Chains A and B, each alone.
Chain A
Amino acid sequence: MKTDVKHWFASGTPWIWLNAAAVAASIVMVVGLLLLIAVRGMGHFWPKDVLEFTLADDQRLLGEIHDQEQVTAERLRAAGFSIEGEREWLTRYLVKTGNRDLTGMDFRWLLETEIRDRRAPPEVIAMERREWGNFYGYLEALQRDGQVVAAGAGAWTALQERLAEALALYERIRDIEKDEIGAINAEVERLRLKARRHQLEGTYTPERQRELQARRAELEARYGVLERQLQGLYRELNRDAVVVRTVDGRTATIPLAKVVRVYRPNAMTASDKLRFYFAKLWEFVSEEPREANTEGGIFPAIFGTVMMVILMSVFVTPFGVVAAVYLHEYARQGTLTRLIRIAVNNLAGVPSIVYGMFGLGFFVYFLGGNIDRLFFPEALPSPTLGTPGLLWASLTLALLTLPVVIVATEEGLSRIPRAVREGSLALGATQAETLWRTVLPMASPAIMTGLILAIARAAGEVAPLMLVGVVKLAPSLPVDGNFPYLHLERKFMHLGFHIYDVGFQSPNVEAARPLVYATALLLVLVIVVLNLTAIYIRNRLREKYRALEH
């Protein structure tokens, strides 16, 4: 036996097994990480039961179990709990109790020994609100103008109807405020800049002044109409309120204008829950965030990421392809091309934050500042392009992803057999024609691969964007209905930065965490899908050219 082991070690087999273990460990980590994000991210939208806990001191508590963990008795004793008996392990629950406006906190740790009884009463309501987070409690009555209009059993159905009306009103108000009044504001600002420009150029004649004044008066009149309309809508919206009771017997009146959604989680059937799940999922990808990004959706972040990536592609594709074509088709292979290849590889290895610094210093302050002085002097001292924004962010990322496109395109070019080029040249085509009609079409899937990889990289990059244009909450999207429709100078939101910001800068990290997991899941999905597509295209390309060669 002993000599057996000795032999076994001498043969080296155990070391092979250890190497295999390294692979196995890597696989476990990769899959585990993806599963972790998937489970936590997907689970967030499923409605959890709201439990009524009766504690050892007869206090009652209402909330969903948000998290739980196993703790040793020693640690708890060290933390100042008195744990009786011989228990070594205790379960500790993190209960989301909501009602932050009433109790000041919305999470509470509960030890299992503190809980005497728990049940799930079907009549419990959970209410998502526009501020103060969730409310958990019992429905008492529905009010209009301070008068009770429904109470008891009928209150629930009445509430549903009224809430639908209130949501529609809210939507209408937001449309007016954001789109119509927003358009007027944009117009007024443009008039101001126009006047300032004329002043600067010394062409601010009295008739021009009158003309601008007239336009402004017209806009103000339109604004007045909208304002009156808004007042009416607000009056209507603020009439309804719902009276609720918390588990410890306090009643509260919550105006329906502040309510986003009401549901009775404990009374839901499986299909109800499924519907709820998809409604929440849709809200997540299509709505704007609420409550300092800890609730609601991430639509502006998705939109910002997509816009940035599209712009970046517009910049990076021509440059990357031209550089690759130069390296592979035009340049004589020698010291210069070797230098360029080393430069390209170095560009790929430069830390992304350095690109951010370069973008901020060169693009934003140097280029942007000079463009402002030349073309937008009327807006100074407030900068137009001399401040971080969408354009500079996409340019910075284009520079960052340039090596990816170059490498992928060059690989594609090198797979095209020489015979194809020589055939084209032999038929009398110039080199440019060969390139344009033969080589580039054949290399297009490779270019596509490079672009997809570049997009995947750009979508996940955060560090440089923090310096050149990403913000935690952008007041408006980079594309809207106001001239010139695409606002390259605006700051934007980004999925990756959203994760960083909500996870680390948010005032209420615990409440925000599930949302961060969901955002992370979305980002991972996007990037994995993009990468898989790139790999698929590349593999197909290889097969195709292998066939060509024989």
Chain B
Amino acid sequence: MLREESPSSGFRTTPLGWRLAKDRLARLGVGLGGLGVILAIVLIFVYLLSVVLPLFQPARMAPLSSYALPAGEVGSVLGLALEEQLEIGLRYRGDGTVAFFRPADGSVIGVEQVVPMGMDVSAFAAGEPGSGIAAFGLADGRAVVFQVVFETRYPDGKRVITPRLEYPLGAAPVVVDPAGRPLRRLAVQGDEESTTVAGVVDDALVVGRFVLEESFLGEEPSVEAYHGNFPLQGRAVDHLLLDKEQRWLYAADGTGRLLVLELDEEAQVGLHEERTLLSDGATLTALGFLAGDISLLAGDSRGRIHQWFPVRDAQNRTRLTRVRTFALDGGRNRGAESDPVRLLVPEYHRRGFIAAGEGGRAVLFYATSQRTLASAQVGEHTLVQAALAPRANALLALDAGGRLHFWEIENEHPEISWSALWGKVWYESYLGPDYVWQSTSASNDFEPKFSLMPLTFGTLKAAFYAMLFAIPLGIMGAIYTAYFMAPRMRALVKPGIEIMEALPTVILGFLAGLWLAPLLEANLAGIFALLLLLPPGVLVFAWLWQRLPAHLRQRLPEGWDAALLVPVVLAVGALAWSGGPWLERLFFGGDLPGWLSHELGIDFDQRNALVVGIAMGFAVIPTIFSLAEDAIFSVPRHLRNGSLALGATQWQTLVRVVLLTASPGIFAAVMIGLGRAVGETMIVLMATGNTPVMDFSIFQGMRTLSANIAVEMPESEVGSTHYRILFLAALVLFLFTFLLNTLGEMVRQRLRRRYSNL
């Protein structure tokens, strides 16, 4: 009753409980918001890490199913293959047939007769796995070339895959050896235009090349046949390989002696070189290609696999060179005569392969990153045939006991290892090990080159030249502004320079690339003259100013010297700029960039580190200036006054007292400026040529981590190795700037505490 009549009843009062609840609610909400900030930075870090981590996950092999072949077939399987969706497997059999079956349970889908009944199969070969080409060699010197094609259709939205055989040269056998001798070993490759079959007969290599000639009138294409041969003169051939370009033929015997033969358009064979693949008495037990058919893999009787590929020598002639060696047992008992390499199966597109030794074990390797990825006991007996799926996600293997094993493989990112990212790697067709970044190419089985070194180098190079420009200007400017400048001028200058910090870097980059770069190229001498002339020019002016009568000098209020110097800087600049071309005429034949490349052998890019240094330096100056100025300005006044009172000059006080006290702050300013230079994207994107070269020259361009992300991210496939490596680059940037910023920030906070104590 009383409450209602009280004077406060004029106000609408809220119940206290509700008010307190609201207060608690606000406290909770605000607390959550505050923690959200930490959460945000943790989330960024964790997310980047979660994208990057799969790169370093080891490969995994796991059995899916295993079943015995029909008893009659055990000895007759000549080869295996898998279809891309893992729905169909196939066996090439010794009776000239191909059997299609379900890899999951071995149930047969169908059998196709390839070789006409009654003909003897004497050899078999499969071409590059992606092409599906294979051939049976016959005892009468002929061969049947066929191609396995999988047709995918979607009736009623469900996928149906049907296998089919095609005969690019016709179903009838083609003549490989005109003399009609039985083909003992065989190699085959084919594409839309031509097919080549090579075989070993008694004491010779025979080659047949069959070129499809399109007829103009839409009739059946006719086949033009060429034949060639190469006498072996008693040399044995146990391994015969033909590359998919149908140009290089490799024939090796059991001791590891290899003939490299070159085929011409009309199947004529010439000896290119002869090499010994093995050195220490081991015997050659397996020979195969890596994807792309450039690298040869040679497996020996001691469980080692050697990778060889052609490298150009000084005479510009290619020579097979041994590049890497892998060991089946991971190198544990090196060189034991126990574990010969029985099988080498390459992946379809990447540079990975599976090798099998005695006793049913299979090991997964990756060539470029030199990694042994996984190893598994696939069967109880030695594996005699095996095939990898086109996406390298499954293995089909037959052991000597007649059981087929179907395994799944999880191996998403074999290309990455510490050494592949940061070390020198010898890539195919390169002259030697090198740091290379080349992530994509038009070709399908291109070897991706993922060295982060050139990008990191480019990042540091750009940051270095930017800091070279920004540190002196930023810090000296800060010293003057904080210590000598008149307050009224400082109130103008400081915000003026700080506004430049907000200037979009895309504008700086655009000016650097389209205005500064051509300007510098046209007057390179001018800019160097400017850099050299400016300090002495200013000193000469200062000296003259000192000599002026005192009453003239005193017209300028104290602390306005910088304003006085603006016209001086302009004058020196104009002098240097107009004098530059004269210097070029006098000393450099009128064309400094040309002179550099002719006389000194220094290449000159229009968009080079000099341009980037100036433009990015411009972007970093405000950061350094502002932070360093704060540090110097907040040095307590009494320190300075004490020093001056003791008779020190202004300069002595500055150097020995003020700068010394403020030096941690200046250091922090440089660190934070460096962090900005390292992460800057648009300027380097626009003002460098974006070529990932490793050259510290100031006249050369570079490619930085950040620009690389900007260039390549939009075209990178989500979840691919390339995508994850770009995230790794972002993570590297994140950590690097995190480190610099934390360092700078900690120094600054400590400094602030120290000042408040002084």
Contact = CB atoms under 8 A, between A and B. Distances in A.
A351 B678 contact: yes
Given A323-B34, A349-B740, A430-B23, A36 B503 contact: no
Given A21-B565, A351-B706, A431-B27, A29 B506 contact: no
B510 A16 contact: no
Given A357-B48, A460-B505, A322 B738 contact: no
A350 B497 contact: no
B644 interface: no
Contact of B561 (A17, A327, A399, A523): A17
B37 A344 contact: yes
A375 interface: no
B485 A457 contact: no
B522 A69 contact: yes
Nearest to A15: B651
- Interface range on chain B (Cβ under 8 Å from partner): 35 or more
B493 A343 contact: no
A435 interface: yes
Interface stretch (B123-131, B327-335, B386-394, B583-591): B583-591
A443 to B, nearest CB: 14
Contacts of B25: 432
A14 interface: yes
Given A30-B496, A351-B734, A504-B513, A319 B594 contact: no
A19 to B, nearest CB: 4
Chain B interface, DSSP helix/strand/loop, else mixed: helix
A314 interface: no
Nearest to B708: A353
Contacts of B514: 503-504, 509, 513, 516
A459 B41 CA distance: 23
B650 interface: yes
B504 A349 contact: no
Contacts of A33: 503, 511, 618
Contact of A27 (B37, B566, B585): B566
A159 to B, nearest CB: 36
B550 to A, nearest CB: 15
B23 A433 contact: yes
Interface string A312-326: 000000010011011
B34 A330 contact: yes
Interface string B508-543: 011101110000001000000000001100110111
Given A17-B565, A354-B44, A467-B713, A23 B481 contact: yes
A462 B40 CA distance: 21
Nearest to B681: A463
Contacts of A327: 34
B542 A26 contact: no
Contacts of A70: 581
A357 B726 contact: yes
Residue among A20, A27, A356, A406 having the largest count of chain B Cβ atoms under 10 Å? A20
Given A13-B542, A28-B566, A431-B27, A504 B686 contact: yes
Given A5-B543, A319-B33, A351-B680, A430 B19 contact: yes
A402 interface: yes
Contact of A460 (B35, B43, B504): B504
A74 B589 contact: yes
A8 interface: yes
Contacts of A360: 713
Contacts of A345: 741, 745
Contact of B706 (A5, A72, A456, A463): A463
- Interface range on chain A (Cβ under 8 Å from partner): 35 or more
Nearest to B500: A30
Given A72-B584, A431-B27, A466-B714, A18 B476 contact: yes
Nearest to A338: B749
Contacts of B503: 33, 460, 524, 527
Contacts of A338: 749
Contact of A354 (B23, B27, B679): B679
A102 interface: no
B651 A350 contact: no
Contact of A431 (B23, B41, B485, B569): B23
A352 B535 contact: no
A311 B172 CA distance: 71
A509 B518 CA distance: 14
A353 B730 contact: yes
Contacts of B645: none
A394 B144 CA distance: 63
A347 interface: yes
A13 B534 CA distance: 17
A528 interface: yes
Nearest to B589: A74
A327 to B, nearest CB: 6
Given A17-B565, A402-B40, A459-B504, 19 more contacts: A11-B649, A12-B655, A27-B497, A27-B562, A30-B500, A329-B30, A344-B37, A352-B679, A353-B733, A357-B730, A365-B718, A399-B40, A430-B20, A431-B23, A463-B682, A496-B506, A496-B682, A499-B506, A527-B503
9 contacts: A5-B543, A25-B569, A319-B36, A340-B34, A340-B38, A362-B47, A500-B506, A504-B510, A531-B502
Instruction: Please provide the 5 A-B residue pairs with the shortest distance between their CB atoms, ordered closest to farther.
Output: A12-B651, A351-B679, A326-B34, A460-B504, A74-B590
